[in-house]
Structure 1
């Protein structure tokens, strides 16, 4: 009898029978570099160690005379530049549309910008691809801060550099959107005594699982939640055994087993925010083991226990069902040096062209005040 139980469990792990999941990873496409058409700034490739893997980042550097106010405190000729460190949200990566809008606004003010991908995403290393792991993401943030504030940076992308510049390690800003917004608040809480970090921007931040999954849990029902749990356990077991992952869509439509169920319209908008050729050959899929870790991740609790004592700029959307505005308001009340702006937008819309340019200017103004 015991033998049959073992066989049944082995089959359940090795051959998931749920029609909503599939088994398999994908090999990332080779990274060939980023085209930089702007005469006002350069973009450099940087790899940094995080855990046992290398993450990839784009370093935006302003060029001399690329801003009108070259005599300001953020002078582009200054050999020490304040830096804004940026990363993406849940299942996303730095080449998705929207992040460049903010990065270009910041670099136009004379800041260096370090926009990086978490491990297993984009041009960063690691398998299985698109593994969402809050613990590893936060570690990647910590590693990115330590790397960029100690790196020696050539003024050009070639070996005929005219010299080097450094990032001002005493003027660091953190910027995160959605899942990344929760990460920057977590990191700021963990580094509460790190005086180098002088400001944080959290746009539509993920703060606690219950707030982000309340509506989706009702739509899934008990059966749907059981299927997700089973898929997560199967993937965790397969990962432990070194087998290919169990994956489901990151964003899917109602009735589909997905990390985040959505409407066809929102799914279309989500996919429209991505370039045709995605870094690493990104696909709309993620290993389900990440759901098990997500359940215990709560940036709200980190803020409550160790509220950052630095300026924090919060952005919320009135129609955001993923990261509700009333939960962001709760964080605002916990942070004595925080401010919040609210836009008439959904979670996806707030990164779109109707909001990003105006919001980006307000964020840049915020960082300018922090960097003074």
Structure 2
């Protein structure tokens, strides 16, 4: 398989690398997948797949695209701005507004530059933290006709995620404000990656950590999901943006377009899907995968419910 992709491309699937700009003029690196021999004169349904926070298109999105392209969808995966092969300096800066914009930029590209895509049949999938960003995008971009989330995280829910007291929150803000001065003096923002430059040989060689950190490492820090462009984390002061932005404020406005929330019964993150489900208006649906932890829905083709995704989006596009 090509270096960096965590799954082998199916022989019946074509993958083409493309680049396009978002509305801020930042170049986005993306991969376009479609079934070989597909009638490119016909309007085909399309899906956009976003990577987990700090992830890249060669990881989980490639797994989803490879499978869904075999089911008749044109699939676009992309690197977030400031990440992977996309533009943006300094590297590893995180912006919830720009990350949500990336989904709309993908709709721009599919609807204008891919003539065999039916621009009225474009949906999106957010894996992990991309779920929050795609829900934010869909709340204002009505061209996104349906949304599915997998192992959802809402990285903008910093206060809830960390269960911070007011004193802890104030201390965090003070620390981040101090870091801004240090970054300015240094001429570059502080960035501390979470994963090594080269992967550990296997899970048995991983260092001892807490259970959630260990779960991340069992994907990102071993050959299973390792990629040199996805070493985890963002610049330290990126957390300030997450404190200012709430991805789910307008989730109710996605209705009457449908939302599907997929998560594992053993996922440490399941509370995020359940909260978002409660906040959303109908039509909405939960799909709980048996015997699945959070990272299983990144790459486990035996766990990811592709038949359900196919049915969900095809039904949504009929309306």
TM range (shorter): 0.7 to 0.9
Aligned equivalents of 2:4, 2:53: Cα separation in 1:
24
Q: Which residue does the alignment assign to 1:268?
A: 217
TM-score normalised by length of structure 1: 0.70
Asked whether the equivalents of residues 350 and 356 of structure 1 are also in contact (C-alpha less than 8 Å), the reply is: yes
State the superposition RMSD in angstroms.
3.3
Indicate the residue corresponding to 2:100 in structure 1: 138
Deviates more, 1:170-179 or 1:140-149: 140-149
Match for residue 294 of structure 1 among 242, 249, 254:
242
Which of 121, 128, 131 is the aligned partner of 1:181? 131
Judging changes above 3 Å, is the alpha-carbon distance between structure 1 residues 119 and 188 closer, same or farther for their aligned structure 2 residues? same
TM-score, normalising length: structure 2: 0.80
**Alignment-derived partner of residue 202 in structure 2:** none
* SS at 1:341 equivalent: strand
Quote the residue 1:114 is aligned against.
Answer: 76
The question of 1:233 aligning with 2:181 is answered: no
Deviations 1:56-88 (A, max 9, x none): 110002112xxxxxxxxxx64553221101111
**Structure-1 residue corresponding to 2:17:** 45
In 2, the alpha carbon distance for the partners of 1:205 and 1:342 equals 12
Counterpart among 36, 45, 63 of residue 63 in structure 1: 36
* Unaligned ranges ≥5, structure 2: 197-209
Name which of 223, 248, 253 aligns with 2:192. Answer: 248
Q: Matched residue of 1:301: which SS?
A: coil
Matches within 5 A, 1:1-372: 37-50=9-22, 51-64=24-37, 76=39, 78-96=41-59, 98-152=60-114, 165-191=115-141, 194=142, 196-207=143-154, 208-214=157-163, 217=164, 226=171, 228-237=172-181, 243-250=187-194, 263=212, 265-271=214-220, 272=222, 275-278=225-228, 281-304=229-252, 306-324=253-271, 325-331=273-279, 334-343=280-289, 344-353=291-300, 356-357=303-304, 359-372=305-318
Distance in 1, Cα, partners of 2:116 & 2:68: 17
Structure of higher CA gyration radius? 1
Moved more, 53-62 or 123-132: 123-132
Number of aligned positions between the proteins? 298
